[in-house]
Amino acid sequence: MTKIKLIILLGVVVGFLTSCEWDNYDAPGSMLQGNIVYNGEAINVSYNDVIFELWEPGWQLDIPIDVTVDQDGSYSALLFNGTYKLIIPSAQGPWRNNVNSTTGSDTVLVNLNGDMNLDIEVEPYYMIRNAQFSASGRDVTATFQAEKIITDAGARDIERVNLYIGKTQFVDFRGPVASAEIGGGDIANPSAISMTATVPSLTPTQNYVYARVGLKIAGIEDMVFSSVQKIDL
């Protein structure tokens, strides 16, 4: 009798330990990652602002998976294997979408089967080139070039350029400790822009800041940025 009890108990324990594995679906395991690029160079944007959508056709309801693009233009998403349609909504990002040769539209087909690296090529209105940052005392100076990429009928003007300095590596118009701005009309030479901002005393004290420059395109909500640079004061 005790033997049967023991066997039953053992069965219950084994059941407990294994049933979770049995019941549950597998977690998504395929990593889709890459950058939003122009000619292979990643386009930097503000954090938590630019998204694109992944749609998986064939389901009863259509609800997109939103993928947020990081500050440095990279993205990553953990997904199930399958065929996805990748769409960058028209209002997202400081760029124009390229026409994909396979689909004949700006939709990109993604056949995901295991981990995958995918760089999404787009055409930005402007790129920030050769951004150099230097510090003297508490003044941070940035020099850079604004290269106009789109010059056809869809070309857009520069609304303004900004230098943002932040305490953390998340640097943009949200809460910089110091910033400088030049209006689009006041830029004499777009291939030699120089801006200076003075860093106030920081609490708690830190002897470094992060800086980057951003460019606002007229009529486009998202700005294009240089990469973030750490500067020792």
Partner 1 sequence: MKKFSYILIFLLAFSWSCNDDDFLDREPTNILLDHQVWNDESLILSVISDLYFRIPEYQTVDNWASYADFDEAFASNFGDYWRHKNNEWGYGDWSLWNYDYIRELNLYIQKASSELTDELDPAVKARFVAEGRFLRAVNYFELVKRMGGVPLILEPLSYDFSGDASYLEYPRAKESEVYDFILSELDEIKNDLPNDTEVKSRATQGVVLAMKSRVALYAASIAKYGVNTPSVSLPGGEVGIPASMADGYYTIALDAAEELINNGPYSLYEKKEDLSENFSSLFIDKANNPEVIFVRDFVQSERWDGRANLWTLWNQPWSGAEDLEGGRTNPSLNLVQSFEMLDNTFQTFETMSGGDYVYFDSPIDMFAGRDARLAGTVMLPGSKFKGKDLDIWAGYILADGTIVTGDEFGQRKELPGTDTPRQVVGFDGPIDGREFSAQSGFYVRKFMDTATGSGQRGLKSDRWWVRYRLGEVYLNAAEAAFELGDEDAAAEYLNVLRRRAGFTIDLTAADLSFDRIAHERKVELAFEGHQLWDMKRWRLAHVVWNGEQEPLTDQPWKADEVSTRVFGLWPYKYYEPGSPNNEKYVFKQVVPGQVTGADRFRLGNYYSFINDDIRNNNPQIVKNPNQ
The answer to whether the beta carbons of residues 213 and 144 sit under 8 Å apart is yes
The least CB distance from residue 177 to partner 1, in Å, is 9
**Binders of partner 1 among 165-194, rule CB under 8 A?**
173-176
Smallest gap from Cβ 107 to partner 1, in A, equals: 16
Compute the least distance from the CB of residue 172 to partner 1, in Å.
9
Of residues 147 and 221, the one with the C-beta less far from partner 1: 221
Parallel, antiparallel or unpaired: strands 41-42 and 51-55: unpaired
Question: Cβ of residue 191: shortest distance to partner 1, in angstroms?
Answer: 27
Q: How many CB atoms lie within 10 A of CB 203?
A: 7
Alpha helices in the chain (DSSP H): 2-23
How far is 131 from 215, CA to CA, in rounded Å? 12
Mask for 68-97, x = binds partner 1 (CB under 8 A): ---------------------x-x------
Residue with tokens 């070309």: 155
Q: Is residue 221 involved in binding partner 1 (CB under 8 A)?
A: yes
Give the separation between CA 48 and CA 53, rounded to whole angstroms: 14
CA–CA gap between residue 196 and residue 163 (Å, rounded): 8
Which residues in 25-64 contact partner 1 (CB under 8 A)? 61-64
Which residues here bind partner 1, judged by CB under 8 A? 61-64, 89, 91, 173-176, 219, 221
